[in-house]
């Protein structure tokens, strides 16, 4: 007993029980939304249990009637038994349907809620997780929570009700049978404790391994072109087989333990059943009980054993639920982005719709959480109808600066704000500090292929759902994409495959630029967005943007200085600063390229 007490004291000190309680409360925050469904499901379970116990009683009466040769009551009792069995089937089917229906709805609602929370999680914090891991947490762990929310508490109540009511019936008829029925309880409890410890470890290992497999598959399929190009197919097949082998070994190890546990429980169950049967024969032979009572006791003995096993099975379920809750809490409890200034941003945009919006970054410093220091004292500005270029070697901070502008990351020191038109940036009134809400003022074309599966028109309307075909075509012309889109058999209704498949990198880039222009945002960010275009097309695209009447402020990052002559100002990122280049320095960059 002392060892057992010390065991639980150590568990409490280790914080595991406290953490499980916190995870349980988090699950409850979802469960309380569906209390009506849980009450209905529980009531159905109570009804089913009551009908089942009543069937046992009627069965006992029927046996007594037959053995007592009471032929007049046989037909009526038999009809009642049939009716109860039919009722049991109906209640079970209704219960299963209601359970499945509510479970699917709960699953969809929880996944939508978690999805939304993941989407507004701090970007830099979220990048610490592999995409495959996020997908596994969102799909598998959410499904575990949704199924548990509906079933755990109702099943706990139903199994307890079933056990107590069956036990009460046994005691009322012959208390000695209760002793035989309860013989297997100590073994069941001890095995459940062992199974619980193993289940905690298995759930954690299984979740981690599932995330690893999901991440491997997602990354492999996303980079299948590179794998083919480097002839890495055999290597990746072997890696998959190794991961599968590890997963199978882990699952089989737990399966072996489950088999031995099941065999032992089954042996105990048989021992209890045969002991009850032998005692029943003795009691019938002694004339203490009727044969019908004995058959009822045997049935109830199975009910008691089954109820105990069902209650024991809830322990691993509870551990699985808290494990899934913990994995989801790791994500949803990360810092959130603040979108509380959306209305203010809308008013700011409406006020400066005609004049355009300027951008000012002053004395910024920034380091990633990994410790990589990027900026120490960086400043830049951009105004409507300007194209501002950011140049510099790879890894110096061009993309990081765009992330700061989009408020995906926050500077450690310095100021970043927007103001209307070309007015004095030093005036406090009229400033809008950059935050997640100000992204509504930007259009962004990142590096790489960012087109989604669907038609060209559907991709365009992702950023402006009410855009007309004419508006889409105008933007395709500005990005020099119309010259190839108009030749397609289905024009803007041509399907784009996943990751822009079916189009060259240059074509996909021009489509991405057209999509950004269609949004009609006052600020446009192009991150190496013209890298796959030839120099002539690149200059033409930038010229079209410049000549557009819309008061747009444009910032581009580039490794190709051939377009710098089209820019109003060029910043070179050097040693954590943004330095404005003069004409001679720009000419030197062009010649060196």
Nearest to 498 by CA among 489, 508, 490, 488: 508
H/E element, 379: strand 373-382
Q: Dihedral of the CA atoms 276, 279, 285, 290 (nearest 10)?
A: -40
What is the distance between the alpha carbons of residues 401 and 415, in angstroms, rounded to a whole number?
13
Confidence band of 363 (pLDDT split at 50, 70, 90) = very high
405, 525 Cβ separation under 8 angstroms: yes
pLDDT at residue 98, as a whole number: 72
Highest mean pLDDT (candidates 41-50, 85-94, 162-171, 472-481): 472-481
The mean-pLDDT minimum among 250-259, 270-279, 443-452 falls in 270-279
What is the distance between the alpha carbons of residues 443 and 517, in angstroms, rounded to a whole number?
7
Q: What is the DSSP string of 175-219?
A: HHHHHHHTTTHHHHHHHHHHHHHHHHHHHHHHHHHHHHHHHHHHH
- What are the tens digits of pLDDT across the range 262-286? 676 667 666 766 676 677 677 777 7
The pTM for the full model equals: 0.71
pLDDT at residue 102, as a whole number: 72
What is the distance between the alpha carbons of residues 391 and 375, in angstroms, rounded to a whole number?
15
- What are the tens digits of pLDDT across the range 107-166? 888 888 888 888 888 888 888 887 777 888 888 888 888 777 777 888 888 888 888 887
What is the distance between the alpha carbons of residues 194 and 190, in angstroms, rounded to a whole number?
7
Mean pLDDT across the chain, nearest whole number? 78
What is the distance between the alpha carbons of residues 444 and 450, in angstroms, rounded to a whole number?
11
Instruction: Report the share of the chain in percent with pLDDT over 70.
Output: 81
Q: Tell me the three state secondary structure of residue 165.
A: helix
Q: Tell me the three state secondary structure of residue 334.
A: coil
Please, what are the domains in the chain? 14-332 (1.20.1560.10), 342-450+522-592 (3.40.50.300)
Strand order from edge to edge, sheet including 442-445: 442-445, 523-527, 553-557, 387-391, 569-574, 577-580
- Say which DSSP state 317 is in: H
Is the pLDDT at 356 greater than 50, yes or no?
yes
Interior CA angle at 176 toward 171 and 178, to 5°? 55
């Amino acid at each position: 007993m002392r060892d057992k007490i010390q065991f639980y004291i150590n568990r409490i000190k280790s914080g595991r029980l406290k953490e499980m309680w916190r995870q349980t409360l988090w699950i409850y925050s979802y469960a309380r939304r569906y209390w009506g469904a849980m009450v209905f499901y529980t009531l159905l379970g109570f009804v089913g249990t009551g009908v089942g116990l009543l069937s046992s009683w009627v069965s006992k009466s029927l046996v007594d009637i037959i053995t007592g040769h009471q032929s007049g009551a046989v037909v009526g009792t038999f009809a009642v038994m049939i009716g109860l069995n039919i009722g049991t089937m109906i209640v079970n089917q209704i219960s299963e349907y209601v359970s499945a229906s509510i479970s699917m709805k709960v699953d969809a609602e929880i996944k939508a809620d978690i999805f939304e929370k993941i989407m507004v999680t701090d970007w830099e914090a979220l990048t610490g997780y592999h995409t495959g891991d996020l997908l596994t947490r969102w799909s598998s762990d959410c499904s575990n929570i949704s199924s548990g929310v509906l079933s755990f508490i109702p099943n706990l109540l139903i199994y307890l009700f079933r056990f107590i009511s069956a036990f009460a019936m046994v005691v009322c008829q012959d208390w000695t049978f209760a002793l035989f029925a309860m013989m297997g309880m100590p073994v069941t409890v001890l095995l459940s404790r062992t199974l619980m410890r193993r289940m905690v470890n298995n759930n954690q290992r299984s979740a981690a391994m599932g995330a690893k497999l999901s991440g491997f598959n997602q990354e492999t399929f996303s980079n299948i072109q590179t794998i083919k190009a480097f002839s890495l197919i055999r290597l990746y097949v072997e890696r998959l087989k190794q991961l599968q082998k590890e997963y199978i070994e882990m699952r089989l190890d737990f399966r072996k333990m489950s088999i031995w546990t099941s065999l032992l429980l089954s042996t105990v169950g048989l021992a209890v059943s045969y002991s009850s049967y032998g005692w029943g024969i003795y009691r019938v032979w002694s004339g203490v009980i009727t044969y019908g009572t004995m058959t009822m006791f045997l049935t109830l003995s199975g009910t008691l054993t089954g109820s105990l096993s069902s209650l024991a099975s809830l322990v691993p379920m509870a551990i699985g639920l808290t494990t899934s809750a913990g994995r989801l809490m790791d994500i949803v409890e990360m810092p959130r982005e603040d979108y509380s200034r959306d209305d203010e941003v809308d008013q700011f945009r409406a006020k400066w719709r005609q004049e355009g919006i300027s951008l000012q970054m002053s004395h910024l410093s920034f380091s990633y959480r990994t410790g990589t220091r990027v900026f120490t004292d960086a400043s830049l500005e951009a105004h409507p109808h300007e194209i501002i270029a950011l140049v510099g070697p790879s890894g110096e901070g061009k993309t990081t600066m765009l992330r700061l502008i989009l408020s995906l990351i926050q500077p450690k020191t310095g100021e970043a704000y927007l103001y209307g038109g070309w007015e004095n940036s030093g005036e406090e009134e009229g400033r809008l500090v950059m935050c997640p809400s100000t992204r509504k003022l930007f259009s962004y074309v990142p590096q790489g292929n960012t087109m989604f599966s669907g038609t060209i028109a559907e991709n365009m309307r992702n950023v402006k759902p009410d855009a007309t075909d004419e508006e889409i075509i105008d933007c395709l012309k500005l990005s020099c994409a119309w010259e190839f889109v108009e030749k397609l058999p289905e024009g803007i209704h041509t399907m784009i495959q996943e990751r822009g498949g079916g189009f060259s990198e240059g074509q996909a880039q021009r489509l991405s630029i057209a999509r950004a222009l269609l949004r009609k945002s006052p600020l446009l960010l192009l991150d190496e967005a013209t890298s796959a275009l030839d120099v002539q097309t690149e200059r033409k695209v930038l010229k079209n943007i410049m000549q557009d009447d819309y008061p747009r402020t444009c910032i581009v990052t580039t490794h190709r200085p051939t377009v710098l002559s089209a820019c109003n100002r060029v910043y070179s990122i050097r040693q954590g600063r943004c330095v404005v280049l003069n004409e001679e320095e720009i000419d030197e960059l062009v010649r060196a390229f």
